[in-house]
Amino acid sequence: MLHLKNKNILVMTAVDAERQAVLRGLKENTSITVTVAGVGPAEAAANTAIALSKGHYDLVISMGIAGGFVNKAPVGSVVIADQIIHADLGAESSEGFLPVEQLGFGTSKVTVDEQLMKNMLLALEKLEASVRIGSILTLSTVTGTKQTADVLQQRYPHAVAEAMEGFGVAIAAEQFGLPCMEIRAISNPIGPRDREAWKIKEAFAILEKSSEMIQEVF
């Protein structure tokens, strides 16, 4: 079991707008540092590693907004990853997609500590928004069609959301021997791109409130 009261936490967000939302929720909490990771798993991994090399931390959290799978994580909900999966790390074949595990080149999955996840769930359930637990996919290309969304759901039936940085943040934390989590506020459904249907402002508000609630865990 992880005991993280009075510990130092590093939160990584893709962009500064997400960082500002998290900081508003944290207010004056000096035990939680919030840093911009950049967009995509490669930049997120590099910037997380740089941040970890400059300080002492006990936990790393990837936070931000994300797309939610229809009927799994509706717009306005919050998702907590039980697994962080690099969903397009692998190879194509005539039989379909082959994850990197089948190629013998490592892993595409980071499993979140169960007790830490449960503690976070208890804190976030105090929000007015619904909270879901499931796999969060990391992709270098954001899904923009129903066909791709359906393929991902078939390949990863436990997945609830997708974003672009979680696995990069998690693998950097793993290299430093640290646990990692991913928490996302859902701004849009995964599928055909319809920017008019996105609820970015509302997702930022939920992200802010979520960061306020997580202080109860830490």
pLDDT tens-digit readout, 42-64: 999 999 999 999 999 999 999 99
Q: Could you tell me the fold of the domain covering 9-211? A: Rossmann fold (3.40.50)
Helix (H) or strand (E) holding 46: helix 41-53
- Average pLDDT over every residue of 3-19: 88
**pLDDT tens digits, 176-186:** 999 999 999 99
Domain ranges (residues) in the chain: 9-211
Dihedral in degrees, nearest 10, Cα atoms 207, 211, 217, 218: 150
Burial 88-110 (b: 16+ CB within 10 A, else e): bbbeeeeeeeebbeeeeeeebbb
- Average pLDDT over every residue of 149-164: 96
**Which phi-psi region, left, alpha or beta, contains residue 129 (left: φ > 0; alpha: ψ -120 to 50)?**
beta
What's the pTM value of the predicted model, to 2 decimals? 0.93
Query: Given this model, what pLDDT does residue 132 score?
Result: 95
**pLDDT tens digits, 107-156:** 999 999 999 999 999 888 887 779 999 999 999 999 999 999 999 999 99
- Average pLDDT over every residue of 148-175: 97
Confidence of residue 1 (pLDDT cuts 50, 70, 90): very low
DSSP 129-180: S-EEEEEEEE-SS---SHHHHHHHHHH-TTEEEEESSHHHHHHHHHHTT--E
**pLDDT tens digits, 70-110:** 999 999 999 999 999 999 998 999 888 988 898 989 999 99
